[in-house]
């Protein structure tokens, strides 16, 4: 696959030339598809490019993967659905997306979760943790972890002066479980950003 970094793209210049260059590069290197990485760019400014690229790529037998924010840019685009959840179930999250976009248009984007929520977390957001932060908390509070079968993530709780916390985190086992749920629903493609799982990639791929 070819990953296209759109950082700095403003929509200026002839779109047809850019798309042609991207597709020619794919054919030259025998790529089977394109991942459109929007980075910090505005989905609105990228929607015309994504739609046109998806249409032209489909005519050449290539797949184009886009984040969910660009799902409506073109009927042939494959939507990268984030696996990171703080509520509900991963099964329903994927199934709902398949119902919305079509089963063949959904791919799973694995996001390795390490998040500390202070309860009640009404807005569903928490504090992101590094791997070192996570280990320090587990050691400090002698945490006992449990698997959430709904979220396909591990969790533990602890208390401090701010109140009760729940920490959600992923490891190789939980990521494999996410992949199993997606596979059972017929999802054909899953992506993971290598630097985020470099320490556990061998255990994921067993």
10-residue mean pLDDT profile of the chain (206 residues): values are 86 85 96 89 85 95 95 95 92 98 97 92 84 96 96 96 94 97 97 93 93
- Determine the pLDDT at residue 168: 96
Judged by DSSP in three states, 56 sits in helix
Which among 80, 127, 68, 132 has a CA at the least distance from the CA of 106? 80
pLDDT of 121: 76
Beta bridge partners of 36: 4
Nearest to 201 by CA among 185, 179, 183: 179
Scan for tokens 């992101």, then name that residue: 128
Give burial (CB, 10 Å; 0-12/13-18/19+) of 34: buried
Which residues, including other chains, have CB under 8 Å from residue 135's CB and lie 6 or more apart? none
Q: What is the pTM of this model?
A: 0.90
Q: Output DSSP code: residue 89.
A: -
pLDDT for res 14: 83
Q: What is the pLDDT of residue 152?
A: 96
Residue 43 pLDDT: 80
Q: Take residue 171 and report the two structure tokens written for it.
A: 């490891």
CB within 8 A of 98, min separation 6: which ones? 105, 106, 185, 186
Strand, helix or coil at 182? helix
Task: Name the residue with tokens 């200026």.
Answer: 12
Token duo for residue 1: 């696959």
pLDDT of res. 180 = 97
What one-character DSSP code corresponds to residue 77? P
The distance from CA 52 to its chain's CA centroid, rounded to whole angstroms, is: 23
Tokens of 155: 């969790």
Q: Which pLDDT does position 41 carry in this prediction?
A: 67
């Amino acid at each position: 696959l070819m990953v296209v970094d759109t950082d700095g793209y403003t929509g200026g210049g002839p779109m047809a030339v850019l798309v042609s260059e991207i597709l020619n590069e794919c054919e030259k290197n025998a790529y089977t598809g394109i991942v459109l990485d929007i980075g910090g760019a505005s989905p609105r400014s990228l929607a015309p490019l994504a739609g046109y690229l998806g249409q032209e790529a489909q005519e050449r037998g290539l797949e184009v993967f886009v984040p969910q924010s660009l799902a409506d840019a073109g009927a042939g685009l494959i939507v990268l659905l984030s696996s990171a959840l703080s509520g509900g179930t991963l099964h329903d999250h994927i199934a709902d997306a398949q119902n919305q976009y079509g089963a063949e248009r959904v791919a799973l984007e694995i996001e390795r979760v390490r998040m500390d929520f202070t309860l009640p977390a009404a807005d569903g957001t928490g504090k992101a943790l590094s791997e070192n932060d996570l280990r320090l908390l587990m050691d400090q509070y002698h945490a006992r972890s449990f698997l959430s079968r709904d979220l396909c993530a591990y969790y533990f709780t602890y208390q401090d002066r701010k109140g009760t916390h729940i920490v959600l985190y992923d490891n190789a086992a939980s990521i494999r479980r996410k992949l199993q749920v997606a596979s059972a629903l017929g999802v054909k493609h899953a992506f993971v950003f290598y630097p985020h799982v470099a320490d556990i990639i061998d255990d994921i791929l067993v």
